[in-house]
Amino acid sequence: MIVHACFVPHPPLLIPEVGKDNINHLKETREAYQKVEAELYARKPEVLLVISSHSLNQHAFSINQQPKVNVNFKRFGDLVTNLEFKNDIALGYKIKESTEVEMPIILTAEQIIDYGAGVPLFYLANHLPDCQICVVHPAKELDYADHVKFGELIKEQLVSYNKRIAIVAAGDLSHRLHQDSPAGYSPRAQEFDQKVIKLLADKDFEALIKFDKFLAEEAKECAIKPLLVLMGIIKEINFVPEKLSYQAPFGIGYLVENFQIK
């Protein structure tokens, strides 16, 4: 059964050993993450289904089926942080079986999970030592409607599953908000961020599905597809959206949004 859902950002700077002093600029985001973590602790999920924007395949959805996986941030100079999680292999197979007739989907076996899912797990699994994970990736070349459909196809599997599941969609909003943004500056970047925030607040799924692809491309975002998979799963479920924080101190939009399942 689905017990909670949320959308979170994944900047490596949120990891203390990576961010160092820069982490102070992300105070609101960290506090919002802590609120989500407290909510998860209260809901006691047995599985965290992470929808990570860092796609592993251009043309297919993918699920990591490595039995045990590690999270580290060595590529960012952090030689200290090292986490280990058990994969819920059975859930991964159920998702594949429920989608493979209509959607291209592959199974992978990645030992190391990158920061796209690693940052959310660092914050949200701290007090859930026995919680398993299942990491799903969108497909870069498939369109928005396919991602909603994918969510719809796996919904019944999640609702009827014999474990308590929390869904964590992970990605960042625009990467072009400031003159010093990593992807350069776009005057339309803030337009993108505010539009996404408003559509989530209004629960306007149709507008999100039909989101302006040119605006999304201009913003250089990595949030829409994880959000669309999440919306496909929960849009027929009674929930309340709650924006916990929005920051962009480094020119990238970081949104933390809770979806309280009723």
Report the pLDDT value the prediction gives residue 115, as an integer from 0 to 100.
96
Mean pLDDT on 202-226: 94
For residue 140, pLDDT beyond 80: yes
Query: Which class for 234: exposed (0-12), middle (13-18), buried (19 or more C-beta within 10 A)?
Result: buried
* Residue 50: partners with Cβ closer than 8 Å, 6 or more residues away: 117, 120, 121, 133, 134, 135, 136, 168, 170
Alpha-helical regions (H) of 49-112: 89-99
Q: How confident is the model at residue 2 (pLDDT cuts 50, 70, 90)?
A: very high
222 within 8 A of 255, measured Cβ to Cβ: no
Q: How confident is the model at residue 126 (pLDDT cuts 50, 70, 90)?
A: confident
Structural domains in the chain plus CATH codes? 2-172+222-261 (3.40.830.10)
Report the pLDDT value the prediction gives residue 31, as an integer from 0 to 100.
98
Mean pLDDT on 177-203: 95
For residue 186, pLDDT beyond 90: yes
Report the pLDDT value the prediction gives residue 57, as an integer from 0 to 100.
80
For residue 205, pLDDT beyond 90: no
Tokens of 223: 């949030």
For residue 201, pLDDT beyond 90: yes
Alpha-helical regions (H) of the chain: 16-19, 27-43, 89-99, 115-124, 144-160, 189-202, 205-209, 213-219, 224-234
For residue 56, pLDDT beyond 80: no
Question: What's the chain's Rg over C-alpha atoms?
Answer: 17
Residue-wise pLDDT for 157-184, tens only, equals 999 999 999 999 999 999 999 998 989 9
Report the pLDDT value the prediction gives residue 58, as an integer from 0 to 100.
83
Mean pLDDT on 141-159: 95
| Sheet of 112-113, strands arranged across | 78-86, 68-73, 112-113
Least confident of 37-46, 47-56, 72-81, 100-109: 47-56
Q: How confident is the model at residue 39 (pLDDT cuts 50, 70, 90)?
A: very high
Report the pLDDT value the prediction gives residue 180, as an integer from 0 to 100.
87
Q: How far apart are the C-alpha atoms of 117 and 227, rounded to whole Å?
A: 14
Q: How far apart are the C-alpha atoms of 133 and 110, rounded to whole Å?
A: 13
Contacts 24+ apart (CB under 8 A), 13-18: 13/250, 14/119, 14/122, 14/123, 15/73, 15/76, 15/78, 15/81, 15/115, 15/119, 15/122, 17/73, 17/77, 17/78, 17/79, 17/80, 17/81, 18/73, 18/76, 18/77, 18/78
Amino acid identity, position 120: P
Report the pLDDT value the prediction gives residue 77, as an integer from 0 to 100.
95
Tokens of 187: 């005057």
Its pTM stands at: 0.96
The chain-wide mean pLDDT, for the chain, equals: 95
Q: How far apart are the C-alpha atoms of 173 and 255, rounded to whole Å?
A: 7
For residue 55, pLDDT beyond 80: no
